[in-house]
Chain A
C-alpha cells in the first residue's frame, strides 16, 4: 500500500499541466467558475474540442473507440489537475452516459455511427429519463413507444432534461410493454431531436438559469435501428448508466479547489477589521469541511484502487454521491456566508458580470441555490440511502 506516484505518473502530470496552460490561452475566460452559469453552446464545447484534438476527451472509453487508455491513476491525476486549474468540465450526457451504453450494449452500426460524433463533439446528447410522474421511481415511466413496421411511434413527456435546448440527440427510456412488471417493459431508444413531433420547453431554475427543459413527444417516428440492445431490456442498460453516473459524482478534486477559493474569499473579507479566515468560528467551519472532504477523498481513492484491480464500483459508490453532494452544498453555503451582505445583489438581472460587490461575490448566492439540485438529481440522496440499506446492509 502506498500513496506515491511513479516517475512516469509524475511525467504525465507535467504533460497535463503543460496542456492546461496552453488551453487556458485558447479558452473564453471564466468558464470554470461559478459566475458563468449562462454559457453558449460554443462555450460548452470549447474545452471538449481542445481535448478531442489532443485525444484526451474520453478517459472512460476503451482505446479502440477513441478512449485514452489511461490507468485509473492517470485519470485521477487528470481530474485533479483540471479541477485545480478550474478548467470547465466536459458534458457527461454523451461522453460518460450514453457512450458506455452504446459501446457495451449497442451493435456495430450504432458504435460506428454515434461514437465518433460524440468524441468530436459533433452530436450533443441529452438524457430522457425523468418524467413528471417518475422521478425517484424511474421505472414507473409512461412515455410509450409502439412498434409500427420499421419504426417506433413515441408519445409522452420527459422532464429535467439538462441542456436539451442545444441537443442533437436524446437517449430515452420508453415503455414498450405496459402489461409486464414495470422494469421488464422498458426499451432504450436513441432519438434525433430534429424528428417532427419533438418540442422543447424551458424550465427556469432558482438562480434564473435556463438549465433544464421539458421535452414533449407527439407521434415521434423513431427507426427501429435506433434501439439499443433488445426490446424490453432497457432497464438493464438504464441501471448500468446510472451506476456510471454516480461514479464521477463525488467531485472531490473540484471541491478541493472550491475550498481553496472559499479560503481566498474569506481571506479577503473582513470582520471587525481582521480577516474572516482568521475568525475562530469561521476557521473552524472551514476545517470541519476540509476534514470531511479528506475522508471522502480517501473513500474515493479506495474505490479507484479497487477499480484498478478490475473490480467495478459496487452499491457503496452511493456513499460518494451522498457525501460528495453534501460537501459541495456546504461549500456553497459557507461561501454565501463569507460574502455577507453581497449575497443580496442579483447580478443576473442586471446583465452578466455586472457585479455590485467584490468580483468573488458575483453569482455566489445563485450558485448556492442552484447546488441544491445535487442532492436531488442522479438518484436523490434518499434513494442512495435506500440503495445502501438494501444492497450493502441487507436491510
Chain B
C-alpha cells in the first residue's frame, strides 16, 4: 500500500497551485466573476498551456494519459481558489464521454479539449427530474440519418461559455426507464437550440437550455443508442470524484482561515481561539475535512472498479462531502461572526460553493438512497 504521489503528480500540484496563487487571487476573482463574461478567458488558455486540460486525456489524442488521481489533484487546487472555469463539464465529463466514443469522435474532440479550443457543458438535469439521471422528458427521435431533439434542460453549468453540449435524451421507453437513454454531442449553434443565461449563487454561470426540433447527425451519438445510462453513471461518478476533491480544497481553506482568524480575533481580552467551545468546534471542522480527504481518496482509487463498487464509492464520497461541507461552511461563517456574513470576505463564497456542491449530481439524501440500494 502506498498513498504517496509520484514526482509527476507532485509537480502537477505545484504548477496548478503556483499558477493560481500568482494569477487567480480573490480580488481579481471578484472582478471577473461579476463581469459581463463571468470569467477571464485567459485562464482557460493558461490551463491549456500548463497541460491541465490534457492531464487526464489519452496520450494518443493529445492528452497526458493521467487518470482520477491527476483529476483530483487539479480539482483540489481549483477548490482552494474557487475556480469557475468549466474544467469538470469540459474535461472530466466531456472528455469522459468522448474518450469512450467512436474513433471519429475521439479524433475530432480530444485534442481540441486538451488544447483548450473547445468548451463543453453537460445538459442532463431537467426541471422535473431532480437527481435521477434516467428521469428524462427530453426526447431524441431517429429520422433518417439524424436524431430530432426536443426538450428542456435545467441549470446547465458553464453553458454560457460552451460551444457544444453533451445532452442526455430518451430515445425509447418510458420517462424513467433505465433503458432507452442516449447521449449526444450537440452544437450550441444548431437550429432550434435556445439558451437563457444567468449567474449562479456560487458565482458560476449557467443556462436553461431548450431544444426544439433540433436535428442532430447520427454520428453525434456517443456510445450506443438506448444503452447510454451505464456510461452516464460512470462519467457522473468520475465527475463526483472531481467535485469531492474540489470540496476538500474549499474546506481546507475554510478550516485554515477560521483557525487563523480565531488566533487573532480578540474578545473578552483573549483570542477567541482560546475558548474551548470554539476549539472543539474547529477540531470537528478539521476532523470532517480529514474524513472528506480520505473518502475522496477512496473514490478516486475505486473509479476503475466494476460498476457497483465504483458507484458505491462515489455515493459514499458524495454523502460524506455533503455533510462535511455543510458543517465546515456553516461553522466557518459562525466563528467569523458578522464578518463571515459579508460579501467582501472570501469565507462566505467558499460556504456558498460548498452548499451548491451538495446539490450537484445529487445531494446527500440522493446518494444515501443510491448507496443503500446498491448494498
Residues of A participating in the B interface, judged by any CB pair closer than 8 Å: 130, 133-137, 140, 159-160, 203-206, 208, 212, 269-273, 276, 281-282, 333, 336-337, 340-347, 349-350, 356-357, 365-366, 368-370, 372-373, 375-377, 380, 382, 385
Contacts and interface: CB of A to CB of B under 8 A. Distances in A.
Interface in B180-208: 196, 198-202, 204, 206, 208
A272 B355 contact: no
Given A204-B344, A272-B176, A341-B154, 18 more contacts: A203-B342, A203-B344, A206-B348, A272-B135, A341-B125, A342-B154, A343-B201, A344-B200, A344-B206, A346-B198, A350-B198, A369-B355, A372-B334, A372-B341, A372-B351, A376-B334, A376-B341, A380-B334
A272 B132 contact: yes
B3 interface: no
B128 A270 contact: yes
Interface of B: 125, 127-128, 130-132, 135, 154-155, 157, 175-176, 196, 198-202, 204, 206, 208, 266-269, 272, 275, 277-278, 326, 330, 333-334, 337-338, 340-344, 348, 351-352, 355-356, 359, 363, 365, 368-369
Contact of B338 (A135, A350, A369): A135
Contacts of B369: 281
17 contacts: A135-B338, A140-B268, A204-B343, A206-B333, A333-B326, A340-B131, A340-B363, A341-B125, A343-B359, A345-B198, A349-B199, A356-B196, A356-B208, A357-B127, A376-B333, A376-B337, A377-B338
Contacts, number: 135
Contacts of B130: 269-272, 276, 340-341
Contacts of B337: 135-136, 376, 380
A342 B129 CA distance: 12
Nearest to A358: B127
B155 A342 contact: yes
Contacts of A337: 363, 365
B198, B206, B277, B368 — which one has the most chain A CB atoms within 10 A of its CB?
B198
Contacts of B341: 205-206, 370, 372-373, 376
Given A273-B176, A346-B198, A382-B277, A341 B155 contact: yes
Contacts of A208: 343
Give the interface centre of B131, B135, B359, B365 by most chain A CB atoms within 10 Å: B359
Contact of A344 (B176, B278, B326, B359): B359
- A281, A341, A369, A382, most chain B CB atoms within 10 A: A341
Nearest to B196: A356
Residue in B154, B275, B278 with the greatest tally of chain A CB atoms within 10 Å: B154
Nearest to A366: B201
Nearest to A369: B352
A376 B155 contact: no
B278 A382 contact: yes
A343 B356 contact: yes
